[in-house]
Amino acid sequence: MQWKVLAEIYNIDALIQRVCEIEAYCNPLKQKDDIKEDIQDEYLKHKICFMNLYNDINKYMENYQSHEIQHDKIIKRIQIDDMIKKLQDELDTLYKINRTPSLKLIGSKYSFKQKRAEEIQNLRDELFIDIINRYNQLFHGSKVETRKVQTLKSIQSRHNTETFCNKKSSSYFKELSNTDKETLNCWHMKSKELDKEIEDIGNIALRISERAEKLTNESAKHKHVIEDIVSHVKFTSSEATSVNASIRKLIRTSSNVTFCCRISLTVATMVVVAVIIVLAIKKLV
Q: Give per-residue pLDDT as tens, 71-114.
A: 777 888 888 889 999 999 999 988 888 877 654 544 444 567 78
| Distance, CA of 91 to chain centre | 33
Among the listed residues 17, 91, 24, 4, the one whose alpha carbon sits nearest the alpha carbon of residue 54 = 91
Q: How many CB atoms sit inside 10 A of residue 265's CB?
A: 10
Q: What pLDDT does 232 receive? A: 58
Q: What pLDDT does 39 receive? A: 41
Q: How many CB atoms sit inside 10 A of residue 39's CB?
A: 14
Q: Show Cβ contacts of residue 95 under 8 Å, excluding neighbours closer than 6 positions.
A: 120, 165
Q: Point out the residues of the chain with pLDDT beneath 50.
A: 1-7, 29-33, 35-36, 39-40, 103, 105-109, 143-174
- Indicate the pTM of the whole model: 0.38
| Distance, CA of 199 to chain centre | 20
Q: Give the strand pairing for 110-111 and 105-106.
A: antiparallel
Q: Which long-range contacts (CB under 8 A, 24 or more apart) does 155-164 make?
A: 155/119, 155/122, 155/123, 155/126, 156/118, 156/122, 158/121, 158/122, 158/125, 158/126, 159/118, 159/121, 159/122, 161/121, 161/125, 163/121, 163/124, 164/124, 164/128, 164/129
131 class by beta-carbon count within 10 Å (0-12 exposed, 13-18 middle, 19+ buried)? buried
